[in-house]
Amino acid sequence: MGKVKLSVLGISYSQTQSGAYALVLSEENGSRRIPIIIGGYEAQAIAIQLERLTPPRPLTHDLFLNFATAYSIRLVDVQIYKLEEGIFFAKLHCDNGEKEMFIDSRTSDAVALALRFNCPIYTTDEIVEKAGITLDIEEVDESGKASENTPVKEVKEDNFIAQLRHLSVSELKTMLNEAIQNEDYEKASKIRDEINRRA
């Protein structure tokens, strides 16, 4: 069973389930994408790391990283090893220098940890064959990320984003700091996107 390396392409609102999000993983040496439906809290934990936001207090996944680092436990990789009835199963491959172990994990938590530990994410050929979709019309910008015109990023603009466009960069930065202090990471992510759009 061949191993396929994945990267996190992004998160979008789920078109099929209200209040849910789609975590989109991309095959590194191919064009297939694997969408995984996750909840709002899990999406927030992943988005915070993707956006490089620093919360004022450590969140659960940050605490896990700090704990593992304190005890010299390394997350070697994340393995998404099974897909059953639409549910993805993952495990954490850990090593403390003396012993290797595999720990069962929800896929969303495993991905949030992989981003924090900066370790690779793998799946199997079989899962990519079963769940992978190809986005032929995807456009990629210079940074290698999907542009906002792709189906993955297709999200209706809300009033808040429209309001952000009328603010100065210094006002946006003030709002960003306030949102982070209030632990409103969804709002902070939108403000950060607007600041980056103007850069």
User: Domain ranges in the chain?
Assistant: 3-147, 156-199
Q: Of all residues in the chain, what percent carry a pLDDT higher than 70?
A: 85
| In the predicted structure, residue 92 carries a pLDDT above the cut 90 | yes
| In the predicted structure, residue 142 carries a pLDDT above the cut 80 | no
| In the predicted structure, residue 149 carries a pLDDT above the cut 80 | no
| Pairwise pLDDT comparison (176 vs 120), residue with the higher score | 120
The model's pLDDT over 104-134, given as tens digits with 9 standing for 90+, comes to 999 999 999 999 999 999 999 999 999 988 7
| In the predicted structure, residue 78 carries a pLDDT above the cut 50 | yes
| Pairwise pLDDT comparison (13 vs 175), residue with the higher score | 175
Among the listed residues 128, 117, 113, the one whose alpha carbon sits nearest the alpha carbon of residue 33: 128
| Pairwise pLDDT comparison (2 vs 137), residue with the higher score | 2
| In the predicted structure, residue 138 carries a pLDDT above the cut 50 | no
- Model pTM above 0.75: no
The model's pLDDT over 19-36, given as tens digits with 9 standing for 90+, comes to 788 899 999 988 899 999
Instruction: Read off the tokens for 68.
Output: 């593992």
pLDDT bin (cut points 50, 70, 90) of residue 160 is confident
The CATH homologous superfamily of the domain defined by 3-147? Bifunctional nuclease domain (3.10.690.10)
Mean pLDDT of 38-61: 90
pLDDT of residue 1: 60
| In the predicted structure, residue 47 carries a pLDDT above the cut 60 | yes
Give the 3-state DSSP-derived string for the chain, with helices as H, strands as E and coil as C. Answer: CCEEEEEEEEEEECCCCCCCEEEEEEECCCCEEEEEEECHHHHHHHHHHHCCCCCCCCCHHHHHHHHHHHCCCEEEEEEEEEEECCEEEEEEEEECCCCEEEEEEEHHHHHHHHHHHCCCEEEEHHHHHHHCEECCCCCECCCCCECCCCHHHCCCCCHHHHHHCCCCHHHHHHHHHHHHHCCCHHHHHHHHHHHHHHC
C-alpha 72/C-alpha 79 separation (Å) is 21
| In the predicted structure, residue 136 carries a pLDDT above the cut 60 | no
Mean pLDDT of 141-158: 40
pLDDT of residue 16: 63
